[in-house]
């Protein structure tokens, strides 16, 4: 007996900082207000979670107005995620942040991406000795294995490499091209510049099993008449494959399975 169970939903994990939020801009604004001016690019973002000096500063940043007013990326992210959610993907966040700011993190996600994500996982990078008594650090690849991630969208190349090595399909979100010069070790990694590119090129709209919902009689060819002025088809020929009788004895037209419009014929490999 064939199974009627649906295939398991594919899980897409999304990084938070610099993939969904403009965290670095807010961090630099805060830093330059209270400390010596500095500049940074996305390639140095990982050090903010692991370097001892930055790890200390970031605890103060968490308590600042700038942290509370971090803005989402202005790049079609919400719209793209809504499309993926509607198609039945299981969407989660895996962030390098620490779990003690889980409430603030959830507040940001609920405000800017309401109803999109089902879970938020914290890697707890850059924990102090005191914090390690209460929290455990994990690599993103470890969490991906534990929860069965199929696709990761992240802006950090090292995270992407790590997850690609365990068989996860990876999209390196690189809107500014900072990772462009890093050509080595990109097996299994696809570089993308925008969320529009993510949705249109890597998750194209699948074909629908029901495409012809209306039959237009104006598009039908005229019926040929026989010598008696009757339809050339036999009146009793109601077992034609294209027709069927309803319970009231009326002919109904069976819907075609052929799309015919040629749109969206190719389904993405990750669907």
Give a yes or no: residue 180 inside a domain. yes
Closest by alpha carbon to 63, among 36, 89, 27, 111? 27
pLDDT at 209 (0 to 100)? 62
237 located within any domain: no
Identify whether 17 is a catalytic site residue: yes
For residues 225 and 86, what is the distance between their CA atoms, to the nearest angstrom? 49
Out of 17, 75, 162, 169, pick the active-site residue: 17
Please report whether residue 209 resides in a domain.
Answer: no
pTM above 0.85, yes or no: no
Bridge partners for 47 per DSSP: none
Residues 21 and 45: their CA atoms lie apart, in Å, by 13
Q: What is the pLDDT of residue 3?
A: 46
Structural domains in the chain (count): 1
pLDDT of 237: 47
Listed residue (55, 142, 134) closest to 100, CA to CA: 134
Domain housing 181? 11-202
pLDDT tens per residue across span 57-73: 889 999 999 999 999 99
- Domain of 143, CATH number, reads 3.40.50.1000
Q: What is the mean pLDDT of each run of 10 residues along the chain (271 residues)?
A: 62 98 91 76 50 77 95 96 96 97 98 98 93 96 98 95 96 84 69 95 77 58 54 48 46 39 38 53
Percentages (nearest 5) of helix, strand, coil residues in the chain = 30, 15, 55
Taking the C-alpha atoms of residue 146 and residue 150, their distance in angstroms, rounded to an integer, is 11
User: What is the bridge-based pairing of β-strands 243-245 and 251-253?
Assistant: antiparallel
DSSP H or E segment with residue 25? helix 23-34
Residue 265: φ, ψ to 5°: -70, -25
Q: For position 155, what pLDDT does the model report? A: 93
Q: How many CB atoms lie within 10 A of CB 193?
A: 15
pLDDT at 10: 95
**Model pLDDT, residue 184:** 58
pLDDT tens for each residue of 102-155: 999 999 999 999 999 999 999 999 898 999 999 999 999 999 999 999 999 999
Q: Is residue 270 part of a domain?
A: no
């Amino acid at each position: 007996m064939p199974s009627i169970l649906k295939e398991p939903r594919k899980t897409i994990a999304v990084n938070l900082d610099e993939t969904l939020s403009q965290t670095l801009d807010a961090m630099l604004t805060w830093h330059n207000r209270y400390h010596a001016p500095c500049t940074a690019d996305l390639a140095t973002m990982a050090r903010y979670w692991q370097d001892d000096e930055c790890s200390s500063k970031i605890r103060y940043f968490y308590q600042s107005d700038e942290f509370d007013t971090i803005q989402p990326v202005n790049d079609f992210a919400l719209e793209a995620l809504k499309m993926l959610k509607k198609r039945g993907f299981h969407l989660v966040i895996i962030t390098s942040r620490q779990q003690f700011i889980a409430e603030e993190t959830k507040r940001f996600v609920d405000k800017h991406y309401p109803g999109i994500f089902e879970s938020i996982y914290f890697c707890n990078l850059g924990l102090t000795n005191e914090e390690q008594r209460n929290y455990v650090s994990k690599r993103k690849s470890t969490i991906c294995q534990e929860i069965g991630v199929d696709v990761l969208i992240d802006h950090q190349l090292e995270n992407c490499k790590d997850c690609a090595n365990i068989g996860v399909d990876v999209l390196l979100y690189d809107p500014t091209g900072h990772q462009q010069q890093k050509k080595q070790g990109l097996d299994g990694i696809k570089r993308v510049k925008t969320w529009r590119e993510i949705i249109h090129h890597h998750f194209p709209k699948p074909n629908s099993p029901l495409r012809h919902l209306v039959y237009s009689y104006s598009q039908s060819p005229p019926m040929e008449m026989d010598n008696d002025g009757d339809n050339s088809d036999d009146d009793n020929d109601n077992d034609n494959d294209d027709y069927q009788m309803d319970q009231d004895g009326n002919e109904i037209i069976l819907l075609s399975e052929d799309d015919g419009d040629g749109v969206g014929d190719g389904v993405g490999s990750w669907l």
